[in-house]
Structure 1
Amino acid sequence: MPIANILWVDDEMESLQSQKLFLENKGYAVHTLANGFDAIDYVKEHPVDVVLLDESMPGITGLETLAKIKEINQQVPVVMITKNETENLMDDAIGSQISDYLIKPVNPNQVLLSLKKILDNKRLVAEKTTSAYQQQFRDLFMALNSNPDYNEWMDIYKKLVYWELEMEKSDSPEMQEILLSQKKEANNEFCKFIAKNYLSWVHPKSSDAPIMSNTVFQFKVLPHLEPGVPTFFILIDNLRFDQWKAIQPIFASYFRILEEDTFYSILPTATQYARNAIFAGLMPSEIEKSFPDLWKNDEEEGGKNLQEEVFFKGQLKRLKKDNIKYSYIKVVNHQAGNELVSNVHNLLSNDLNVIVYNFVDMLSHARTEMEVLKELASDEISYRSITASWFEHSPLFQALKKIAGKKINLILATDHGSVRVNTPHKVVGDKQTTTNLRYKHGRNLNYEPKEVLAFRDPKEAGLPVPTVNSSFIFAKEDGYLCYPNNYNHYVNYYRNTFQHGGVSMEEMIVPVIKMCSK
């Protein structure tokens, strides 16, 4: 059985017999033809893994042959071989999606290397990835066990995301299983770290607290405003760091990425808490105190994120930045997205443009409810893939492309992430207890203490006290909180869905990315 079927098309094939023999000795089956017409007919009738194609042949040129071959089989890799080094020929060939380009005279090892690069690339990358992770595994293990601080935790999470993305290239289920186990161990340690340190961040006695939702504008956005250069602050709801990495290459084509940072979402890692904290620059209990008529608790009627712009105005005033010219736009449906595309040029006269874009959060909720989306986003890889596909075809990307050529600053962030839940925990509460799967607050909550992070006095955690004696509990790692009534139904319904509100690296360590025009 040959390694691969190679079609070599060249009108001077007699002089290349030694090359053909060399490849055949290496295990390749090589069929040779002298002109493009025969090559086109051959590709129609026979399976071909790679075509080696001479550019300059009588009758029909290599480029014309290439176009016809791609019409028949878009996926077949083609290596163009030519004496001609002119730039426009190379541009034409590359534009026609060749896989490689060799200049005559070619030696046998050049051809072999090109074939290996095309045919064995995935296997070679997978082997290299597995070997590199094995070397890094010990370093990550040491980092987890050396009492990391909040900066080191952000580094650990970024490294785990890096290896998760690299492992997509590997066909080694064993190594993927080891990585999954290491990530689980990391989340377990992270939850202990948050339980130990979170309250001191909310009320820091010194300045030693990470940048969190309520300080991200003060430290990561407002200092970057430049006179005469509009800044666009884009908040994509519920965007995890690994999802940012999935869309990063799309951004990198149009913008220069200056700083790829993370910050900590406050608890609960849920939109009405984390996002309001970002725009108000305050913890939820402080928002309730400053805007008693506007803050809404979970059990109250009406939208919980309808006052973000009012809160934002308050933050600008408090930080003595209320002289800046800004706009605030929230996109919650496709029509609003199209309006953004139409009006984006008008925003260039502002100092700061805030754009809140709801999609990933809707995807997460819709995925819980719709069986078809559960199939499409059944795991982390497909969840990232759907996010990248959405962004590439979104009005948001269309709008950004329209201003990419202008001198602008761009800061992309989110309010919280999400985690795929698998471990159900029973919770008993009264009628006022909230329904969120990753956190609950209410009186008389009954739960297994080791399964959750509990704040008996919400004020200590910067949270409102919805009712007297109300406490908050948060699911840890991949846990989710279910009531005893109809328990099995809800356990099965919500298992393997993406949820937020609790304590995990995926929910709490979230991206804030600084970019500028190229």
Structure 2
Amino acid sequence: MQRYKILWADDEIDLLKPHILFLENKGYHMTPVNSGSDAIEKCESEHFDVVFLDENMPGMSGLETLTKIKGMMPSLPVVMITKSEEEQIMEEAIGAKIADYLIKPLNPSQILLSVKKILDNRRLVTEKTNLNYQQEFRNISMTFQENLDFQEWVEVYKKLIFWELEIDETENKSMSEVLTMQKEEANNRFSKFITESYDSWLNDPDAEKPMLSHQLMKKKVFPAIEKDTSLFFLVIDNLRYDQWKIIEPAISEYYNVEEEDTYYSILPTTTAYARNSIFSGMLPSEMEKKHSDIWVGEDVDEGKNNYEDQFLERQIRRNNLDLSFSYHKIKKASEGRQLVDNINNMMTNDLNVIVYNFVDMLSHARTDTAMIRELAPDESAYRSITKSWIEHSPLLDALKLIAEKGGKVIITTDHGTIRVKKPFKIIGDRNTNTNLRYKQGKNLGYDRGDEIMEVAKPERLFLPKLNVSTSYVFATEDRFFAYPNNYNYYVNYYKDTFQHGGISMEEMIIPIISLNSKYGR
């Protein structure tokens, strides 16, 4: 076990000998000094893991010593010790980034707790987290062996994400491989659940079913519109539940979470289908039939999500809603800054819809850019980039401004993504779509099995048919479709990239969060 070195500076250091002996008996190497200048001299010549500073020393005070030490070694943890409970001293010490604040008279357990909190925190958290997950592992595994309904699957997914984020915070992530295997097994069973249930969700009026993409605005957004309050409906493309939990603390600075709910994305879990479904309030084949002038099919090269504002307007009209609304799509940082400048004007609308494409750009960039591959080699790094983005994004500035003006916010996405690992061979003609997680065409060739979901009758799932023999096939779990031609190159290029369009908990179980401003109206 590492023997930590502690420097203790106090003009009455001799009176603290019992505490120093106590820490030495606990295995810490103690260096006592009796002035601030001696403490600085020691810090210049030796390495210490933590410094204890008395605030009220003659000559150089504790706060002055703290400033000097932090100027030399900003990351060195310093514990301020004082007899005074004066608020100003506390605030100065906290402002100088102290690690802890202790008030005399001291007792041994108080000192030991402070030391352990600073020096052994990561190890203790790791041990406790690993032990707790090991105890919970069996319960989670037992749960998804059963016939779960859609809401129980949401609970399984949330539990797995909870432990994934907890293990992420541990020192060596020693349980991450076990959790990854458990998540893969859960996704295997979830894919079977979707294969067996999805048709009934769309066709059986008596089936127990979740809220789906096309029902989202009618069930969640329109009912949240209130007189004299502007509602902002924010769709962050590709925002998975784990990414929401990562950005939640930044947003919670300005908002209370009124409700954290979920819905299920329709298939395919892509922007062209799922997001258009949100804004139109319809399933894909209904959009194709009733809005043929703005529906863009797979056989057309045009962008598939260029008419979201028109789909939205028509859905509002269809629901006989008398409201003022705006629609904004943000694809780059400069547009995000323009959005911030425009918030004042938007506050006069009943509803403001904002589509923010950053997470989508990040996931695609990871496929195409070597630098992003290096930055996001795994799920943890991918979440970390998302966190860094929100903290430095114009979007957070916009959300802060909306909160200050008393606006309400609903945050969601259209689908998630999954890191694909296992290639699945498929053959299609030149008209087959390019998505790696689902294929549609008339001459698809592949090995039948439970690794995929086959859809011989697309009309059952309200999917458009380009011709009579069109069929769809969806990749499940972490598979991706690969053509036999140039197979090895294709597999190496796309393996471990984030994709969407298929069936997995990450792609289909979608967070939807209602926020109320902490500032009030």
Same fold (TM over 0.5): yes
Match for residue 193 of structure 1?
193
What's the CA shift for 1:44? 2.2
What's the CA shift for 1:203? 2.2
What's the CA shift for 1:172? 5.6
Q: Provide the rounded CA distance (Å) in 1 between the counterparts of 2:164 and 2:73.
A: 33
**Structure 1, 199-208 or 127-136: larger mean CA deviation:** 199-208
TM (normalized to structure 1)?
A: 0.98
What's the CA shift for 1:173? 5.1
Match for residue 442 of structure 1?
441
Q: How does 1:142-291 map to 2 (within 5 A)?
A: 142-171=142-171, 174-206=174-206, 208-291=208-291
What's the CA shift for 1:467? 2.7
- Deviation per CA, 1:436-483: give whole Å up to 9, x if none: 100110011011221211111111111111233111111110000011
TM (normalized to structure 2)?
A: 0.97
Match for residue 22 of structure 2?
22
Q: Provide the rounded CA distance (Å) in 2 between the counterparts of 1:266 and 1:256.
A: 29
Unaligned runs of 5+ in 2: none
Match for residue 88 of structure 1?
88
Match for residue 303 of structure 2?
303
Q: Provide the rounded CA distance (Å) in 1 between the counterparts of 2:129 and 2:145.
A: 24
Q: Provide the rounded CA distance (Å) in 1 between the counterparts of 2:468 and 2:394.
A: 45
Match for residue 505 of structure 1?
505
Contact 1:129 1:169 in 2 (8 A): no
Q: Provide the rounded CA distance (Å) in 2 between the counterparts of 1:229 and 1:90.
A: 40
Match for residue 393 of structure 2?
394
Q: Label 1:517 to 1:306 Cα distance change in 2 as closer, same or farther (>3 A).
A: same
Contact 1:2 1:29 in 2 (8 A): no
Contact 2:200 2:207 in 1 (8 A): no
- Deviation per CA, 1:244-301: give whole Å up to 9, x if none: 1110110111110111111101111111111000100100111111111211112312
The question of 1:425 aligning with 2:430 is answered no
Contact 1:2 1:28 in 2 (8 A): no
Match for residue 346 of structure 1?
345
The letter of the residue matching 2:264 is Y
The question of 1:31 aligning with 2:31 is answered yes
Q: Provide the rounded CA distance (Å) in 2 between the counterparts of 1:207 and 1:259.
A: 25
- Deviation per CA, 1:197-237: give whole Å up to 9, x if none: 00111223226321111111111211111111111110000
Match for residue 107 of structure 1?
107
Q: Provide the rounded CA distance (Å) in 2 between the counterparts of 1:156 and 1:383.
A: 22
SS class of match (1:293): coil
Match for residue 381 of structure 2?
382
Contact 2:167 2:173 in 1 (8 A): no
What's the CA shift for 1:41? 2.5
The letter of the residue matching 2:96 is S
Q: Provide the rounded CA distance (Å) in 2 between the counterparts of 1:392 and 1:172.
A: 26
The letter of the residue matching 2:416 is G
What's the CA shift for 1:358? 0.4
Q: How does 1:401-420 map to 2 (within 5 A)?
A: 401-420=400-419
Unaligned runs of 5+ in 1: none
Q: Percent identity?
A: 52
Detail structure 1 runs of 4+ shifted over 3 Å in the superposition: 171-174
Q: Provide the rounded CA distance (Å) in 1 between the counterparts of 2:491 and 2:28.
A: 53
What's the CA shift for 1:95? 1.7
What's the CA shift for 1:171? 4.1
Q: Provide the rounded CA distance (Å) in 2 between the counterparts of 1:106 and 1:290.
A: 75
The question of 1:118 aligning with 2:152 is answered no
Match for residue 40 of structure 1?
40
Contact 1:221 1:233 in 2 (8 A): yes
Matched residue count: 517
